[in-house]
């Protein structure tokens, strides 16, 4: 069943058709809308019952709009004037988008070339239909029955799922012989799968049957699903990941408002919840409702900056691990990438290439003093930019955007390597800084006062290692070690080879502090005393050595494993996985651990935490298949390296850490 080649709101099984009560519009062979116009149309076409829910109704006696087979498109269908059509995937740059100025909202527009298309003549695939732009109504769906029952997939009734639904994810599995712990982990991971219209679209954050108050842990979070997605992909199960990417893509266009103010169009939701509710006016029919959360319900009402970055990273991983690049070539997916990038690359008052965000905009979603330019966001931003540079189709519409991405990569890489990196030599340099320098040649460019160097750091930093600090702003350096950001600096080659080696050397040297009895500390050290009161606001959940304030998070294990494999230090990953394997199953897969060495299960930790389970499974599979791991990380990009050198030479600067890195790599 070929579902990925049809433009529409969904390409998920079982077969559904999108219908409308609006009379069929014929005679249009080409349309062209700007991103903002298309986004506006989609917002107006949403169900009037609630701006935070999708409602798809089962309905008969409706007229069917035409459908478009993307694989069969010719240029006249959309009046594309670009002379370069779709090129081979191995050719770079990729030239020729299907529709240069179309948006993901295209799937709400009537683009029927043949208004009399008869879908009943084609029963071999799912037909996806597109709603009319005139007088838009709530979207409706009806099932398409197929005569070819041999193509209907059997559902394993033993599969566990929410809302008493089941779905078989075992069709293409490539599991080796598993240990009992791994078998149990797979059972729990499959039990956390969420379905939408009978199709798997993600996994809930936690699935503890004994939990009386699920809060938002019964939702599908974009960042939480990433390790689950990788586990499924590494196991040969790509459909759930594809469904997730498309489902969250359609949520990107949903209306998002807090106190009569709306954020940028490219914002991805932090999470969504699928509920099955009775169909209006019926006691027997039911419908699935998807409720996205863009931060309107989050603690502090903070927009999830990292969601869009994780989405782009996962999109690339899907293509790399499945070999299916047609998904990222789709018009709506290309537009989703562009909208996220436009949101991130919007001009502002910033003097630096790093992203400026507020507290709580990433995995650390509570007040922890990371507002400004936190390392985690910068590392994910750099990774997403590198992914986008690979996936964007280059044409007249995207050429400027691709150039902006390349320029930002060069500037961000230099900025992070030069100003965020600290080792014993750099700390000694900061210790001797002169302040109040007013000059373009100033050494202390951010006016950092030497007294900011914390007493714990002088004795803690190892001779051989180093790391990227947590944050940098005028007169402020956050010297805490944040694990996720440093690991992604390795994975994405944000750091030089020497810096990447230094991070793992530091973790090895400070094993008891960062790994302890349960890998890995989310940050080190914890905020304590008056500092904790001032920075966290006396947050009772982020007490010292708990939760985000120095807690140990097993889900970070897969990222640590990926970084270790890249740097040829699989021994460190094996050692950490061995520690986790001894406890996670016995402790019922907790969300996080407390105390300085990770000895206790977190005081408010949820059990049966999905990304703990998935992180463990992904780590095990990466260690068994290091060749697959190589598809998920990046080596140094010499083009970015050279661009950075050229820019610095033109401005008269002499010092460039990237030039030194290039010399080291070439040697």
Q: What is the pLDDT of residue 170?
A: 54
Give the N- to C-terminal CA distance of the chain in Å, as an integer. Answer: 50
Q: What is the pLDDT of residue 172?
A: 56
**Which domains, and CATH codes, for the chain?**
307-661 (1.50.10)
Longest dimension (CA), the chain: 79
Mean pLDDT of the chain: 78
Question: Burial, 566: exposed, middle or buried (Cβ in 10 Å; 0-12, 13-18, 19+)?
Answer: buried
Task: Give the residue, 246 or 139, on which the prediction is more confident.
Answer: 246
Q: What is the pLDDT of residue 440?
A: 81
pLDDT confidence band for 347 (50 / 70 / 90): confident
Q: CA angle, corner 617, sides to 587 and 196, nearest 5?
A: 95
Spatial distance between the Cα atoms of 454 and 445, rounded to a whole number of angstroms: 20
Task: Give the residue, 57 or 281, on which the prediction is more confident.
Answer: 281
Which run of H or of E encompasses 479?
strand 476-482
Q: What is the pLDDT of residue 109?
A: 35
Q: Is the pLDDT of residue 505 over 80?
A: yes
What is the crossing angle of helices 570-583 and 497-509, to 10°? 40
Q: What is the pLDDT of residue 553?
A: 98
- Give 184-225 pLDDT, tens digit per residue: 999 999 999 999 999 999 999 999 998 888 889 999 999 999
Q: What is the pLDDT of residue 630?
A: 96
If you search the block for the tokens 């630096």, which residue do you land on? 352
SS3 for 377-411, per residue? HHHHHHHHHHHHHHHCCECCCCHHHHHHHHHHHHH
pLDDT confidence band for 47 (50 / 70 / 90): very low
pLDDT confidence band for 623 (50 / 70 / 90): very high
Beta bridge partners of 57: 140
Count Cβ neighbours within 10 Å for each residue of 115-147 and write b for 16 or more, e otherwise: eebebeeeeebbbbbbbbbeebebbbbbebebe
Spatial distance between the Cα atoms of 564 and 604, rounded to a whole number of angstroms: 30
Q: What is the pLDDT of residue 255?
A: 73
- Give 454-477 pLDDT, tens digit per residue: 999 999 999 999 999 999 999 999
- Confirm if 231 and 321 have CB atoms less than 8 A apart: no
Q: Is the pLDDT of residue 264 over 60?
A: yes
Spatial distance between the Cα atoms of 439 and 436, rounded to a whole number of angstroms: 9
Helices and strands counted in the chain (H then E): 21, 15
In this structure, what DSSP letter does residue 468 have? E
Task: Give the residue, 188 or 56, on which the prediction is more confident.
Answer: 188
Q: What is the pLDDT of residue 656?
A: 52
Q: What is the pLDDT of residue 173?
A: 59
Q: Is the pLDDT of residue 604 over 70?
A: yes
């Amino acid at each position: 069943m070929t579902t990925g080649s049809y433009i529409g709101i969904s390409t998920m099984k079982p077969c559904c058709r999108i219908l409308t009560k609006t009379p069929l519009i014929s005679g249009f062979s080409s349309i062209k809308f700007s991103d903002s116009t298309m986004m506006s149309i989609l917002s107006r076409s949403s169900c009037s019952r609630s701006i935070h829910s999708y409602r798809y109704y089962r309905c008969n006696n409706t007229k069917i709009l035409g459908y478009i087979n993307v694989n069969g498109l010719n240029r006249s269908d959309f009046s594309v004037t670009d002379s370069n059509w779709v090129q081979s995937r191995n050719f770079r740059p990729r030239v020729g988008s299907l529709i240069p100025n179309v948006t993901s909202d295209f799937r709400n527009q009537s683009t029927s070339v043949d208004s009399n298309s008869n879908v009943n003549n084609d029963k071999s695939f799912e037909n996806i239909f597109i709603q009319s732009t005139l007088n838009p109504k709530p979207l409706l769906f009806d099932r398409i029955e197929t005569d070819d029952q041999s193509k209907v997939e059997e559902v394993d009734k033993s599969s566990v799922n929410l809302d008493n639904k089941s779905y078989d994810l075992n069709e293409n599995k490539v599991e080796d012989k598993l240990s009992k712990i791994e078998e149990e982990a797979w059972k729990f991971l499959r039990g956390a799968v969420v379905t939408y219209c009978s199709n798997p679209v993600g996994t809930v954050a936690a699935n503890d049957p004994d939990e009386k108050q699920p809060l938002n842990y019964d939702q599908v979070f974009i960042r939480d699903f990433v390790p689950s997605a990788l586990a499924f992909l590494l196991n040969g199960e790509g459909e759930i990941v594809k469904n997730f990417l498309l489902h969250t893509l359609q949520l990107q266009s949903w209306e998002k408002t807090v106190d009569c103010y709306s954020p940028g169009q490219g914002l991805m939701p932090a999470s969504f919840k699928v509920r099955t509710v009775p169909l209006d006016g019926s006691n027997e029919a039911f419908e699935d409702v998807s409720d996205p959360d863009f931060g309107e319900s989050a603690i502090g009402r903070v927009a999830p900056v990292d969601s869009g970055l994780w989405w782009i990273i996962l999109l690339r991983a899907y293509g790399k691990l499945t070999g299916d690049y047609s998904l990222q070539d789709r018009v709506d997916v290309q537009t989703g990438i562009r909208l996220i990038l436009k949101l991130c690359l919007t001009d502002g008052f910033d003097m630096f290439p790093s992203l400026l965000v507020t507290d709580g905009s990433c995995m650390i979603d509570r007040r922890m003093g990371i507002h400004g330019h936190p390392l985690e966001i910068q590392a994910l931003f750099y990774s997403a930019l590198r992914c986008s540079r690979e996936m964007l189709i280059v044409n007249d519409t995207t050429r400027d955007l691709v150039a902006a991405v390349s320029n930002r990569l060069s500037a961000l890489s230099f900025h992070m390597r030069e100003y965020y990196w600290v080792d014993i030599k750099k700390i000694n340099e900061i210790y001797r800084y002169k302040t109040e320098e007013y000059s373009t040649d100033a050494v202390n460019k951010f006016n950092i006062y030497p007294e900011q160097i914390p007493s714990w750091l002088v004795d803690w930093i190892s001779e051989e290692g180093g790391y990227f600090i947590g944050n940098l702003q005028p007169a402020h350096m956050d010297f805490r070690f944040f694990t996720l950001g440093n690991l992604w600096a390795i994975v994405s080659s944000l750091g030089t080879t020497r810096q990447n080696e230094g991070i793992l050397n530091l973790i090895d040297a400070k094993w008891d502090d960062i790994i302890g009895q349960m890998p890995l500390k989310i940050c080190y050290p914890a905020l304590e005393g008056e500092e904790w009161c001032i920075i966290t606001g006396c947050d009772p959940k982020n007490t010292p050595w708990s939760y985000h304030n120095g807690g140990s998070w097993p889900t970070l294990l897969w990222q640590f494993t990926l970084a270790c494999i890249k740097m040829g230090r699989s021994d460190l990953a094996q050692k950490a996985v061995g520690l986790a394997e001894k406890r996670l199953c016995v402790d019922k897969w907790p969300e996080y651990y407390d105390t300085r060495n990770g000895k206790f299960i977190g005081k408010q930790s949820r059990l049966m935490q999905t990304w703990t389970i998935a992180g463990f499974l992904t780590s095990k599979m990466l260690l068994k298949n290091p060749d697959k791991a190589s598809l998920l990380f990046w080596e140094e990009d010499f083009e970015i390296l050279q661009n950075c050198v050229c820019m610095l030479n033109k401005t008269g600067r002499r010092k460039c850490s990237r030039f030194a890195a290039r010399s080291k790599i070439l040697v």
